[in-house]
Amino acid sequence: MQDLTPGFGGLSVVSFESRMADEAVLLIRKYGGQPISAPSLREVPLEVNTEALEFAERLMKGHVDVVLFLTGVGTRAVIRIASSRHDREAFLRALAGATVVTRGPKPIVALGEVGLKPTVTVPEPNTWRDVLATLDRRLDVRGKVVAVQEYGRANAELLAGLRDRGAEVFRVPVYQWALPEDTAPLVHALRGIAEGAADVLLFSNAAQVDHVLEVAREEGLEASIRESMERLVVASIGPITSEALRERGFPVDFEPRRSKIGVFIQEASLACPALVARKREVRVQIGVWERPQPAAPLAGERPLPCLDGSFMKACRREPVERVPIWLMRQAGRYMKAYRDVRSRVSFLELCHNPQLAAEVTVTAAEQLGVDAAIIFADILLVTEPMGVGLEFLRGEGPAIHRPVRTAEDVDLVREVDAESSLGFVFEAIRLTRAALAPRIPLIGFAGAPFTVASYVTEGKASEHYLHTKGLMLRDTGAWNALLGKITRATTDYLNGQIRAGAQAVQVFDSWVGCLSPHDYEMHVLPHMRRLFAGLQAGVPVIHFGTGTAALLELMKAAGGAVIGVDWRVELGAAWDRLGEVAVQGNLDPAVLLTDEPTIRREAWRVLDQGRGRPGHIFNLGHGVLPQTPEENVHALIRAVHEYPVEKV
């Protein structure tokens, strides 16, 4: 079999690693890269580590209940420092008597060297949030003294989280970070980055980010470095480093499966050539998107990491470490960045502009930290080429100027060639996929045939759908002809989105809840089955409707890997009825108008109903309301990501 693995393929790769700088250079060279070594850290042991010595004394007196080891080097250092003042075996016996928590495999190895095993482990990859989530599942720290081994810097969020849970926190610092004594290699590398002489940056420690920025500022290079991020790939060894990069305004284009330097560099060598090519197709600047030039397919290109992320796994009902979340109307009027764009263009102009549509899609996903992005568009765009006269009226929503209410009207509805008439959506998807972090899947979408037909017949949103039901019941032939045209257009449209780069698609049946089960089965179900049967195999489809408590079994029969439910039905009860299928939902959007404690309580109530069932995707029961405070949306994302769920 031919080996298509390209390695770095001659790319210039900057490593900021210090302690393992030589090993990093050898690995980069081994995997086909041109290494640029730029050590950015120096470990400075504390000359008199009073905190570590006090910790040892308190532990040996039985005054420490829980010990949290964050790093392997730090674990060894604590044991070494304690043994310099106290009997080593007595200290190890005292440590064995405490509840020992380790973050990742390295502290486990360090403890194993002295014959100890942890009580609780936090698996990789992880951040401080995962540490707290594991403790919530495995260990009640209320009223306990928790000693936290620190390495280089204190983690304020972790310490605050422990205190919020009622723990008395005792910090045990081990080292402090400083710049290297010789910063010349780092300065040389930063100048090369600013001048375009680098392709990939490897960050293997969160503290490296601050030191790179510090030296860049001193050299007057910060602006150039940030601008260079548009064309090169930023690779992070794991979630903690990724958080540090994002908090300081840097993108994160790649993260390995395991936070080990060897795995990191090997996997980066496989992923980075394609990522570099993609980033050079589209240059993203603040408020400015440039149209990329088409590029030939890359030989040996590997699947995007997002295909094995939590959202896609949940679609396939595979085990996940945490419930994924994304939101309908993820980019909307509640978000300042979106309002800034809308202040310059109308809604339809935004939909028709691939660069702007991609910008608001990516901005929303990145600012919120959700597990999936959804392309910015509208379910009625498919009606524009039908010739029904779509317009969005300020303050009133969509309007159809030539509504379809008779057989003669149906005859005038044009068949849609999605590629020629809706290509701007496909272009927006291509731009978005190129700019979006590879770990984030992109969802395409369309309106379901009934919902689109209801707009086309009513001319606007309706309470009773009298024109829609009148055509459906009075002239079944005309109704089926209309839904046939819409179904064919929607099938073509969704498949075009998939070809353009969407990893999943959602079908919105926003108004189907107005129908009885009998009317749905007779007049809608056959068209929905044709739609789902015509979509590209292997791509998850989310089937969502509102007011559908009476239709759930029929919706499942129609098709879809995931059934979306609104807030009018309890998620657990809906799932009991649906059986073996993934389920999306279903917090009432109005909850986001309350406060953070209420949001967390209500979100966790929904999550409790899905606990233990594979395939839960958290979402609202409909879109984010325009008046929602933006900070409340962030609070919801945090609440879902911090929910203490066992792997399901």
Residue 294 phi/psi, 5° resolution?
-60, 140
Six-digit token pair at 515?
């129908």
Q: Distance (Å, rounded) from C-alpha 132 to C-alpha 138?
A: 10
Residue 228 phi/psi, 5° resolution?
-65, -20
Q: What does 26-91 look like in DSSP terms, one character per residue?
A: HHHHHTT-EEEE----EEEE-SS-HHHHHHHHHHHTT---EEEE--HHHHHHHHHHHHHHS-HHHH
- Among this protein's residues, is 31 annotated catalytic? no
Helices marked H in 327-387: 336-342, 347-352, 354-368
- Among this protein's residues, is 130 annotated catalytic? no
Closest CA to 528 of 487, 564, 589: 487
Name the catalytic one among 76, 246, 317, 329: 329
Residue 103 phi/psi, 5° resolution?
-100, 105
Q: DSSP state, 9? A: T
- Among this protein's residues, is 474 annotated catalytic? no
Q: How far is CA 530 from the centre of its chain?
A: 31
Q: Distance (Å, rounded) from C-alpha 603 to C-alpha 599?
A: 6
- Among this protein's residues, is 520 annotated catalytic? no
Name the catalytic one among 153, 165, 333, 611: 333
Name the catalytic one among 378, 492, 509, 566: 378
Q: Distance (Å, rounded) from C-alpha 256 to C-alpha 239?
A: 10
Name the catalytic one among 129, 302, 342, 600: 342
CB atoms within 10 A of CB 165: 17
Are the C-beta atoms of residues 89 and 116 closer than 8 Å to each other?
no
- Among this protein's residues, is 329 annotated catalytic? yes
Closest CA to 204 of 271, 268, 249: 268
Name the catalytic one among 151, 455, 465, 493: 455
CB neighbours of 375 closer than 8 A, spacing ≥ 6?
357, 361, 425, 428, 429, 432, 442, 443, 444, 445, 497, 502
Q: Distance (Å, rounded) from C-alpha 514 to C-alpha 453?
A: 13
Active-site amino acid positions: 329, 333, 342, 378, 455
